[in-house]
Structure 1
Amino acid sequence: MKKFLVFMFSMFSVQFSVMAEELSVKNQIEFANGQWNKAFNAGDVDSLKQLYKNDATLSPGNGAILKGRDAVAQLFQSFVDNGVTNHQIETDAIYSTDDQITQVGYWHADGKDSNGEKISFGGVLSLVLVKTEDGSWLIQSHIWNMQP
């Protein structure tokens, strides 16, 4: 009986450890999404730029691949300048290793059409975060599409 209880306790400990690690990854994604949305919705492109690695890649669903923080910042500045606001990210799936987290989810935002009327739009995104040498997480790759 004692061996059985030790076995059950050890199994519980392993399961709890895995659950805590998953929770930690989920919390990291929620934190990263919160930082991203906060910076974008405030129009703070400089803070948004700092969430990306220097050599980050981004594809905004038009067949192009932008490379580097400056190119990423220029794209987001154009969105801010054109009135895109209220950006939100909803996570669908998370895949992780010790030094990389990949998120697949949905994004939504508000803007204005050519007549100045308010519109909402969104799509699917894939976001890859990598752990840096100092232990922080930065975006290495960001890809999205837009659904009509």
Structure 2
Amino acid sequence: MKLAQTSALVFCLLGAPGVALAADAKQDVEKAYAAWDAAFNKHDAKAIGASYVATAKLMPPTHQVASGPAEIEKFFDGIFANGVTGHKLEMIDAGGDDKVVFGTAKWSATGKDKEGKPSPIGGLAMHVFERQADGSLKLRLQTFN
């Protein structure tokens, strides 16, 4: 019985850091999503571009891959020019470690229909972040439909 209790204690102690790391990843992704949504909803393409690492890739449904913050900024300038507003990321799941963190989300926004009237749009998104030296997250890869 004593061996079983010791094994359970060791398991709990070893398992605890992973649980804390997963909780931190979810909190960190929520924070990153909130900052990204805020920049989008201000139509601040420069702030959006700054949320990506230098080697980042954005893979939108258009199949035109944007590489690096400058191309990603240009992509979002085009989105803003088309009148897209009210962006919201709702986390489905997140996880990772001290270097790489992932997030999956439902996204929604308001676009324009063929007559130029507001129309809801949305889909799913996947994000891969790199943890920075200060603990913050920057996007390495983003794809959405």
Normalising TM by the smaller chain, what interval? Answer: 0.7 to 0.9
TM-score for both structures, normalised by structure 1 = 0.85
Q: Distance in 1 between matches of 2:104 and 2:136?
A: 20
2:136 corresponds in structure 1 to 136
Q: Note the aligned Cα RMSD (angstroms).
A: 2.0
Please list the CA deviations of residues 7-45 of structure 1 after superposition, one character each: whole Å capped at 9, or x if unmatched.
Answer: 554444344433222110100100010010000011111
Q: Distance in 2 between matches of 1:132 and 1:28?
A: 12
Q: Is the deviation greater in 121-130 or in 85-94?
A: 85-94
Q: Distance in 1 between matches of 2:22 and 2:135?
A: 17
Q: Distance in 2 between matches of 1:4 and 1:65?
A: 54
What is the DSSP-based 3-state SS (H/G/I as helix, E as strand, rest coil) of the residue aligned with 1:20?
Answer: helix
TM-score for both structures, normalised by structure 2 = 0.87
Percent of aligned pairs sharing the same letter: 26
2:86 corresponds in structure 1 to 86
Say whether residues 1:33 and 2:33 are aligned partners. Answer: yes
CA contact (8 A) 2:21 2:96 kept: no
Q: Is the deviation greater in 131-140 or in 7-16?
A: 7-16
What is the DSSP-based 3-state SS (H/G/I as helix, E as strand, rest coil) of the residue aligned with 1:115?
Answer: coil
- Long gaps (5+) in structure 2: none
Q: Distance in 1 between matches of 2:24 and 2:134?
A: 18
